[in-house]
Amino acid sequence: MNSFTRKSKVQFDYILDNIAKAELNLKPWPYITVQNFLKEEHLQLLIDDWHSIDWLEHEDKKEEYIRNWEEPNWVRDYYSEEHSKELKNFLSSFEVFDIMQQKFDRWFDWNNIWVKRMFKRDDPGCGDYSHTDVWIHSYMVLQIFFPDQSYDQFGTVLQEYEHQPHDEAVELPLRRNQMSGFANTLTTWHAVRPGNRLRKSYIQRFLYKDGHNPYYNEQ
């Protein structure tokens, strides 16, 4: 993934500006949230591609957790998009990676990074248990939400320790065009509260090619 040309970059400069201006929240660990992260026309490109997926391709899998990476109808790598390809290419570019590093004061060689991009669907009643992203060798992550309805709950639950009760943790709201992002360590526990809502999102992870995260040793 090469750096963008200036002509392409101008179209998405506001994304870098939104990340740069985002407040770095420190509790329970460093993270950022940005409301109105994308321009409306660009958000709609993601929404169009999300809706183009046949999420119910396997009806017998509806009751499984959406996070099951083995079931691509629920959590899908989606690289053949027509609408949002250029936008996604920018979101996964060095420019975004670099400004995220500046925000979290984490530094790693871009040449040892690869990017995993996917749409995500969390059906009503589905949640996600307390976990970190150590097992997938994730360095940083950003997630953009576009639910049909906004909620004060049902965003990501940020926990001080494994299995911290949701009501005692920091629970982000679930809102249209909100981005949340953080750098992963051994202590970045997070979860998703199950509930009567449909979570639609695009999630992107910057991963280590060699599977080694030097920050996993931090406590």
Distance CA 77, CA 112 (A): 21
| Number of separate domains in the chain | 1
The model's pLDDT over 41-66, given as tens digits with 9 standing for 90+, comes to 999 999 998 888 877 665 555 455 44
* Residue 143 domain-assigned (yes or no): yes
Distance CA 26, CA 4 (A): 31
* Residue 170 domain-assigned (yes or no): yes
* Residue 117 domain-assigned (yes or no): yes
Domain range for 18: 6-217
The model's pLDDT over 150-170, given as tens digits with 9 standing for 90+, comes to 999 999 999 999 999 999 999
- Residue environment code for 169-205, b if the CB has 16+ CB neighbours within 10 A, otherwise e: bbbbbbbbbbbbbbbbbebbbbbbbbbebebbbbbbb
- Per-residue confidence (pLDDT) for residue 125, from 0 to 100: 79
SS3 content of the chain, % helix, strand, coil (to 5): 30, 30, 40
* Residue 1 domain-assigned (yes or no): no
Torsions phi, psi for 154 (to 5 deg): 80, 5
CATH number at residue 180: 2.60.120.620
